[in-house]
Structure 1
Amino acid sequence: MGIEIHDRISSAPGWDEAVTAAPVFYHRSFLQAFEDAPLHPVLRHAYLSTPPGDPRPEYDGAGIAVPVTLQQGVDPMNVLADHIPAARRHPVLLTHVWHCYETTLPGTDADLDATAAVTGTLRELAQQWNAGHFGFVNVPAHSPTAAALERLGMTPIPVETGHGLGLAPLHCLDDYLATLARKPRQNLTRVLRRAHEAGVTTEVLPPEKADLDGFVELARRTAAKYGNADYYRPGIFQTFVRALGTSARVIELRRSGHLIASAITLLDQHRYHFWSVGVNYAATPGFSPFYAAFAAVMEDAIASGRSRLELGRRNPDFKRRYGMRPTALVAYIAAV
């Protein structure tokens, strides 16, 4: 199918056309930011692409666009350690990066020939780069991409659960609250009341105006409880988020001028992503700043006009309690 391999996103033709409907993780702003400020170590980048409007009769897509990275010793979510430990001993070539929680193959439309072409190219590239394994992580289990990979003989390995919620029926935060069971609705309403009584202010900011140093301090403190503080690498993370431009928003909650919670959200054409959050529980003994931040994110997501809210991985009990629907995520990893 004439798949080309480029080492920089700036040189990949037809990329923007192919990823119009894809998650924000596939957009040029995210990929360029990751090139310039890698959130986790990457040995090499590659971008598999075809120009849009390929004239050959067997292919009538918008152009394939698949980012891959060669990594070694990087496993912040313990996916490889828990499920494919052999993949940790040598470099591994993966689509995409670990900060992406929804892997797809833009431009293939899950066409079997196009998916086979991507998979074959990935295997050849893994051989050239001396990778021990190659494959796909965080693929929604019931997606067309998963179905196509399984038709090609790849075996799914359950690795994670993502969560999200359709926003189309909702017009305001009260509409969302009305969908909840009595206890979670009362709890969130109580948090909002106490936050108001405590004088908490909320501001939605573009990255260049946000206190990203404050975010990283809060987020690392929270992540350290799970041994994962370097998911937010100081300096690099701030640079990365600023480079996202209009693809990102930062929602800050303050009490008496002090940052008590900060959420980074990402936006694409159809989705609003609650991507990451940091909170200071000690600053608000009467209520949870995380719940207050969640309510602020929900309100902004509804107001954004996007049709879906994505909440990514982990913390499943909270997400189910507050109406999020689970999506099983699987990996397809093969030895080279």
Structure 2
Amino acid sequence: MHAAGAPVFYEHAYLDAYEQAPLTAIDAFAYLVVRRGEQAVAVNPMYLQTAADPLGCLYTAYPEARDQPALLSHTWHCYDAHVPSTIGIDVVPTVINAMLRTASLFRAQWCGFVNVRRGSEFGQELRANGLPARHLVDRWAADLTGVTDYEHYLSRLGERARANLRRNERRAREAGVTTEVLPVTSASLDEITPLCGRTAARFENGGFYPEGTFAKFVLALGERAHVIEVRQRGRLVAAGVCLTDATRFHTWTCGVDYSVDGNHSPYGVLFAESVRLALALGKPVLEGGRSNAVFKQRHGLGPCHLDGVLLRA
């Protein structure tokens, strides 16, 4: 995984955490390893799912696959599908053939990839192999290369967005809001879990962060995860669980309670602290995740179109 430059979603800690505490209903786990001689040269985690559309976008793109078992790579909690390989993208046909055989073994009617970045080398290779892609959703990211500090980041925004973030932080301080960055072992996951769940439900993604397993999953991520807590006079009003890999800072999920005192947005405070933490950790890319497109576009992030590529097994 490391040699191939794979994102955090493919690292052992993440995959193992998902096995220990799967955040969606997984019927079976499979891990494809491509070898050249005795050397592993490519990998591909796959997940058999009967309820294969927790975000409500797959069946919109593929209505013919509704409520049928599907073998998917990766999970929906990964928004950046790859086939990590140390020998280049030419391994993709081998992976597709193995995926089809595995789907047959599992009696899955469909198999394929979700959250493939359009225009990426991987996406282009899938198209070159005759696999049509259908748009699912967008994710948002910002290039932080050359950005020295938070004020420098603000300087790249439009005047109105820059003023809004500064005013929001000033009002938050006046209203008794504080922020803290914590390792997962010190974070208040018992408070963060329901907050993230309620926030996901507002975007019609209820159950995406189940209380029974979310805290266990986050704890299993260990040092790959950072938690940002935003409190108003001790009460948790926003929280973000952020992930890191070699080049990227992922604002992976968050929860926000807007019933606060004072005229400020806890989400705006959380966003500002996320940018600061990404810069402090020296990550050249800020991954902003999915949803909340208007805020993200206004505050320096650009869209990455994500596709689904499904095949009948």
- Using the size of structure 2 for normalisation, the TM-score is 0.96
Q: Which residue of structure 2 lines up, in the alignment, with residue 28 of structure 1?
A: 12
What SS does the aligned partner of 1:209 have? coil
Q: Which residue of structure 2 lines up, in the alignment, with residue 37 of structure 1?
A: 21
Q: Which residue of structure 2 lines up, in the alignment, with residue 66 of structure 1?
A: 44
Identical counterparts, % of pairs: 38
Give the Cα separation in 1 of the matches to 2:238 and 2:65. 37
Map 1:185-334 onto structure 2 (within 5 A): 185-334=162-311
Map 1:30-109 onto structure 2 (within 5 A): 30-51=14-35, 54-55=36-37, 63-107=41-85
Aligned-partner residue type, residue 29 of structure 1:
A
Q: Which residue of structure 2 lines up, in the alignment, with residue 4 of structure 1?
A: none
Q: Which residue of structure 1 lines up, in the alignment, with residue 156 of structure 2?
A: 179
| 1:108–1:146 CA distance, 2 compared to 1 (3 A) | farther
Q: Does 1:165 align with 2:142?
A: yes
What SS does the aligned partner of 1:34 have? helix
Give the Cα separation in 2 of the matches to 1:229 and 1:193. 33
Deviation, structure 1 residue 110: 4.7
Give the Cα separation in 1 of the matches to 2:220 and 2:303. 30
What SS does the aligned partner of 2:173 have? helix
Specify every segment of 5 or more residues in structure 2 that has no aligned partner in the other structure, as ranges: none
Specify every segment of 5 or more residues in structure 1 that has no aligned partner in the other structure, as ranges: 1-15
Say whether the 8 Å CA contact 2:171–2:262 is kept in structure 1. Answer: no
Number of residue pairs aligned between Structure 1 and Structure 2: 313
Root-mean-square deviation (CA, aligned residues, Å) is 1.6
Deviation, structure 1 residue 260: 1.2
Deviation, structure 1 residue 50: 3.2
What SS does the aligned partner of 2:276 have? helix
Most deviating of 265-274 and 189-198:
189-198
Deviation, structure 1 residue 259: 0.9
What SS does the aligned partner of 1:265 have? strand
Aligned-partner residue type, residue 76 of structure 1:
P
1:155 to 111, 125, 132: 132
Q: Which residue of structure 2 lines up, in the alignment, with residue 6 of structure 1?
A: none
Give the Cα separation in 2 of the matches to 1:221 and 1:89. 25
Give the Cα separation in 1 of the matches to 2:134 and 2:88. 19
- Using the size of structure 1 for normalisation, the TM-score is 0.90
Most deviating of 180-189 and 159-168:
159-168
Aligned-partner residue type, residue 46 of structure 1:
A
What SS does the aligned partner of 1:50 have? strand
Aligned-partner residue type, residue 153 of structure 2:
Y
Deviation, structure 1 residue 102: 0.4
What SS does the aligned partner of 1:115 have? helix
Say whether the 8 Å CA contact 2:175–2:262 is kept in structure 1. Answer: no
Aligned-partner residue type, residue 230 of structure 2:
L
Deviation, structure 1 residue 55: 4.8
Give the Cα separation in 1 of the matches to 2:174 and 2:55. 38
Say whether the 8 Å CA contact 1:37–1:239 is kept in structure 2. Answer: yes
Give the Cα separation in 2 of the matches to 1:46 and 1:284. 48
Deviation, structure 1 residue 331: 1.2
Q: Which residue of structure 2 lines up, in the alignment, with residue 137 of structure 1?
A: 114
Deviation, structure 1 residue 108: 5.7
